[in-house]
Structures are given as C-alpha cells and as structure tokens.
Amino acid sequence: MNIQNTLDTEVKKAVLSLFEVELPSVEFQPTRKDFEGDITVVVFPMLRFVKRNPAQIGEQIGQFLVDAVAEVTAFNVVKGFLNIVVSDAYYLDFFNGIRLQENFGFVAQVDSDAVMVEYSSPNTNKPLHLGHIRNNLLGYSVAEILKAAGKKVYKTQIINDRGIHICKSMVAWKRFGNGATPEGTGLKGDKLVGNYYVAFDKAYKEEIAKLVADGVDTKLAEKEAPILQEAQQMLRNWEAGNEDVVALWKKMNGWVYKGFDVTYKNLGVDFDQLYYESDTYLLGKDVVADGLEKGVFYRKDDGSVWIDLTDEGLDEKIVLRSDGTAVYMTQDIGTAIQRVNDYPDIGGMVYTVGNEQDYHFKVLFLILKKLSFSWAGQLHHLSYGMVDLPSGKMKSREGTVVDADDLMVEMTQTAAKISEELGKLEDYSETEKQQLYKMIGLGALKYYILKVDPKKRILFDPEESVDFQGNTGPFIQYTYARIQSILRKAESMEVPMTAVDTNAELHPKEKELLKQLRQFPELIQLAAENFSPALIANYTYDLVKGFNSFYQQVSILGETDEERKSFRVQLSKKVAEVVESAFLLLGIQVPERM
RNA sequence: GGUGGCAUAGCUCAGCUGGAUAGAGCACCUGCCUUCUAAGCAGGCGGUCCUAGGUUCGAAUCCUAGUGCCAUCACCA
C-alpha cells in the first residue's frame, strides 16, 4: 500500500480519536530539503476544525503516527508543519518491488478508447523549419506520453498539399526552373521547391514595382501582377482537374514528400496515418447541411451558412461560403468526422497547432459539441508559443527562417566539436562517432525545446546556440553513460544482482534517489493529463542531479560491504532505466558512452 | 477596440490543486581529477516574483484594475 494513503487514513484516525473531529481531507507535501523528514502534513487547514495551537496538534498527531504506523519512525514539528520520517525498510521494500520490473512507470494499455494525435501538418511549398521542429517534438512526445499512461494512440498529420501557395512554387518552377529536378541539382526535394516559392515572391514583387512605375495603383498592381494571375489560374485549372497541372503538382509534391521523409527520419518522429488536404478539403459540406436541418447553423440571405456563438462569448463564424464552397472550418469539421469513421475506437483527439489558432480550435470544438458527437468533449488543442529569433518572427518568404535540416547538422557539429576536445572516444570508429554526435546534438536540441512549458514563446538565438552543460540533454545523457560504465564494470566484477535486505540502513543520498524514483509513475500520469513533456524533462533533470550528487559522495564499486555494493549498483541501474524511459518519452536517445 | 496568452536573478527557465527562508542552469568568483567518465561535484555572488489594491492564519500562485510584449478577431489556409 502506498504510504501516503496509509498516512491519510491514519491522520484522520488520529484527529478523530484525539480531538473527536472528522477531517474531510489531509494535506501532504514532500518535506523540504532543509528539514528532517520525508513527508509533511500541513496542520494549518485543520485549524478550522480543531481549535488548538498548530504546533500542539502536530505533536499529538506525530506521536499517534509513530505508535500506529510501522513505517513511521520519527517526526518533528516546525510551526504548523508535521514532518514525518519514513523508515528505510519502507523504501528498500519499494525498491525490491521495482528492482526487476521492466518499463517501470509505464502503464499497459488500459483505455479502450484511442486518442488521435495530430502534429506537423506542413505546407508542401517549403521546407520544414524550427517552428515545425517544436511542433513535431511536442506532438511526438505527447503521443508517447499518452501511450505510456495507458492510452492507445494514433499519430497523424494532415498535409496541406493544395492551394494557392503550392501553385506559386509551381508557376515559378515552370518559369525559371528549366526542368530542374532534385536528382539533377542534388538538392533535397523540399528545398528545391522552397527555392521556387521564394523565387515567386521575388518575381511578384518585381512585377508590382514595374506596374507601379508605369503608374498603376499599388493595390491594383498587387492584384494584377501577371505571375499572381498565373498562379490563380493554375489553382482553377487544378480544381478543374487539368491533366498537366495535376501531373506537375504530383511531381513537385512527390519531391517534397521525399525531402520531408528525410527530415522526419533525422528528427526521429513518425506517423501512423497521413491525411492529405487534397482529399479532405471538400469534406464537411454534408455535415453542414445536416447541421442546418438540426438548427445548429443558419443561412444568410446571400446563401452563406453561419453558426452563432455569441452565447458562448464568441462571434458568428462562417462555415460555408455563399457559393457553396468549403472554408477552413468546414474542412476541419469534415476531417475530424472522417478520422472517427476511419478509426471507430477514437474517443478523443489532440491537435498540435500553434497558439495563433487558439480561436479557430475553440470554435471548431464548440461546433462539434453542438453537433453532439460523442467524442467532442475529448478534443484538445495542444497550443504552443512561437519560436522567435532575436530579429523577430521567422518568415519563409523573406528567408529569415532557421531551417530544420541545417539546424540538426549544426547541432551535430557542435556536439562533435565538444566531444573531440574531450577526446574520450579515440577507440570509436568514424561511424560510431557520427552516430553518437548526432544523438548528443539532437538530444541538446530536443531537450532545449521540450523542457519549456509549451505555452511559452521560445526565443532562439542561433549565435548562442544551445548549451551542453547544466540543465541540458547532454548532461542527462552523460549521466546515463556514466552509469553504463559502472554497470559494465560491475558485470566484469560479477557483482550479484539480488534482492536487498530491507533491514539495511540507507545513505541519505540513496533514500533521496528512491524517493525520486517512486514519483515516476505518477509523473507520467500527470504529464499525460497536462499534455506536458516539460514535466518529464524537469523530472529527469532532478533525478539525474540527485544521482550525480550520490555518485560523487559515495563509492559504488569501491564499497567493501558486498550487499551494499550490490544495492548501489542496482539502484544506479534503475536510475539509468528510468532516465532511458523518460527520454524515450521525449524522443531522445541515450548513449552507452560519451 | 473586443478576446486569449505571457510577465519570476544580468540571460534561459522550474515552482503540481495557495503553505516553511522563492529554486535550477548559464554567466562571474572559490575549491575538487595517481580514486567508479570533471559534458561532473561542493560552495559563493545575484530576486520590490510587472504595478496597485483585495480575499486568506498564509499569495509568485486566487480575485479586481492597470502596464508591457505576443497572438487573434477574413466568404485565406
């Protein structure tokens, strides 16, 4: 039984027998470092029921607990805080329980309902950048955390493969490309297509300037620039199914997908199911018709269809244009329904999309609720802040973006530089080294991004890059590698890996580590409830800090008492396992050496 | 203007449903490698928790008002 539950009932019993009062609840917190004890009962809230001096109440409850609960060995009271000391035996017993447990903290799938997690969802007219990296890491990590918490998860993305922006790249390629291909140029497909998107913008601006110079009004020039007209015509042709246009569209998108695959693979993210906007953009219209009948929507005189959300403190929102075509919202309604049709066990969805779309998702969820879908209550917008540069916002068209591929290469190079200076891996082959550098470089990047609360905006300074010391991915990876080194030696020393004697006495650092390990399962649940990889990251950091302190203060393999040595080796192993598990949830790998 | 988010040390960030003297890392300054990996450990320096009120035994945390930054309020996606 969990010690806290035991204490909860015992404290209530104590208050009942001592003061004849029934407490509704008891407030616990971990004892702060500077005080003696493990768990603290906060006495203040009891004052409403027990009219006495808090210190006195604490004393009496403390004595009661020592007498009644075997695991409680001592207590002290500071002001209104009753600090309880829990026996070493309790912690050692806990350790024996998890010693051989694989995937400690992870829950086997318990929910029959599945969750679909959407993330990435790029446009196919330009390469992925730092903003997508944050999106991908968050989405992937949340999906993994939900799995670890017992959910069935489908990872998905909706690829925005149609629209005027794609046509812009296509037009520019036709005009300036001279038949360039990824094979011919040696460029990654997404990069090649992205270049033409930039080229379009450049040509467009030049045409506007020329028209304005010829005396055309700026507004008009922006509308009438021939290259824009051409792109618009191309979109109409695409929608009409023009063979040439569709063939070009397929060809160029194909290039982009190949490029994206490389980036995703390097980033270490994946998907169970892909959706393409070209398949879904017409969806949702029948649902709107349905909703019209039910009175959820209403039609205006011009034929457009709206929903009135003023009762919810929001505005009116259009769901179908006057010409009967779908808008963004229509499509998202349709896609959500499509997904549940495809995977009937879906009970909820998570949308990983930037916070600039908070309003959109608020409205979308409300609409789905009003259409009374059973799963509409379980929709979550995993909203995150933008990644800004010191110069401000990233803009693809202006070339002020941090490219995802470039950034990963840079991080790997930095890792390589640091590692080579330290020179600990002389016996590694070149391939082994490269693999490790990538692991460390990406570990630094991923941790840097995931440790921050998703809601917050991230300021990324490419000059200062990302740290490799302190509260960083590499620091945690390093600790893991250190433990592996000990374990290798322990194996050659043939240290026995047997259950520990619960009568043993714990070193304070050992107890500290056991306390931290004990929190891991709850932490996964908490992270899942809050959709927060940051909680996992910060927990892992604390655990590792605790281990390093332990490592520095006590000797593990040098310990002369064989039983104690065995315990320390196994404790280290468990810490490493938890670090590995936690990092798995963040999509970060851990090295055997570094 | 309406709505939403954010504001904690020079910088980057923790701080769970209100609880003890507000915590880390980086930077700066001290120590510690003939001892299990020094990408480490131990310590020092550094804070009107944006401001002003309020609720409470107790507020960085909750409420109100204000300030600053960001986003959003399209028959674009």
Count of CB atoms situated within 10 Å of the CB of A522: 11
pLDDT of A542: 96
- Measured CA angle at A105 (ends A380, A501), to 5 deg: 165
Burial of A77 (0-12, 13-18, 19+ CB in 10 A): buried
Q: Is the CB of A80 under 7 A from strand B?
A: yes
At the topology level of CATH, where does A3-86 sit?
Gyrase A; domain 2 (3.30.1360)
* Closest to A23 measured CA to CA, from A2, A42, A3, A1: A42
pLDDT of A314: 83
Q: Give me the residue spans of the domains in chain A.
A: 3-86, 114-282+347-388, 415-586
Give me the mean pLDDT over the A29-51 stretch: 89
CA–C1' gap, A410 and B63, in angstroms? 48
Question: Cα-flanking dihedrals φ and ψ of residue A304, to 5°?
Answer: -70, 155
pLDDT of A144: 97
Chain A residues 560-579 with Cβ under 7 Å of strand B are none
Alpha helices by DSSP H, A86-126: 88-98
Please give the share of chain A, as a percent, with pLDDT higher than 90: 82
pLDDT of A279: 92
In what helix (H) or strand (E) does residue A152 lie, and over which residues does it extend? strand A152-159
pLDDT of A152: 95
Please give the share of chain A, as a percent, with pLDDT higher than 70: 99
Q: Is the CB of A55 under 7 A from strand B?
A: no
The model's pLDDT over A433-475, given as tens digits with 9 standing for 90+, comes to: 999 999 999 999 999 999 999 999 888 887 777 889 999 999 9
CATH code of the region A415-586: 1.10.730.10
Give me the mean pLDDT over the A252-265 stretch: 97
Q: Is the pLDDT of residue A1 over 70?
A: no
Nearest-10 crossing angle of helices A328-342, A285-294: 100
Name which of A113-117, A187-191, A319-323, A394-398 the model is least confident about.
Answer: A394-398
Give me the mean pLDDT over the A219-234 stretch: 92
Residues A311/A315/A319/A322 CA torsion (nearest 10 deg): 120
In what helix (H) or strand (E) does residue A116 lie, and over which residues does it extend? strand A114-118
Q: Is the pLDDT of residue A159 over 90?
A: yes
Q: Which residues have a Cβ under 8 Å from the Cβ of A88 and sit 6 or more positions away?
A: A502, A504, A505, A506, A511
The model's pLDDT over A193-212, given as tens digits with 9 standing for 90+, comes to: 999 999 999 999 999 999 99
Question: Quick check: do A3-86 and A114-282+347-388 share a fold?
Answer: no
Chain A residues 8-27 with Cβ under 7 Å of strand B are 27
- Closest nucleotide relative to residue A534's CA, C1' based: B14
End-to-end CA distance of chain A: 40
Residue A171 contacts residue A200 (beta carbons within 8 Å) = yes
The model's pLDDT over A4-20, given as tens digits with 9 standing for 90+, comes to: 889 999 999 999 999 99
The model's pLDDT over A479-526, given as tens digits with 9 standing for 90+, comes to: 999 999 999 999 999 999 999 999 999 999 999 999 999 999 999 999
Q: Is the CB of A549 under 7 A from strand B?
A: yes
pLDDT of A563: 93
Architecture of domain A114-282+347-388: 3-Layer(aba) Sandwich (3.40)
Name which of A146-150, A312-316, A573-577 the model is least confident about.
Answer: A312-316
Instruction: Return the SS3 of A493.
Output: coil
Mean pLDDT of all residues belonging to chain A: 93
Measured distance CA(A224)–CA(A234) in Å, rounded: 15
pLDDT of A311: 82
Task: Name the most confidently modeled range: A22-31, A183-192, A322-331, A417-426.
Answer: A183-192
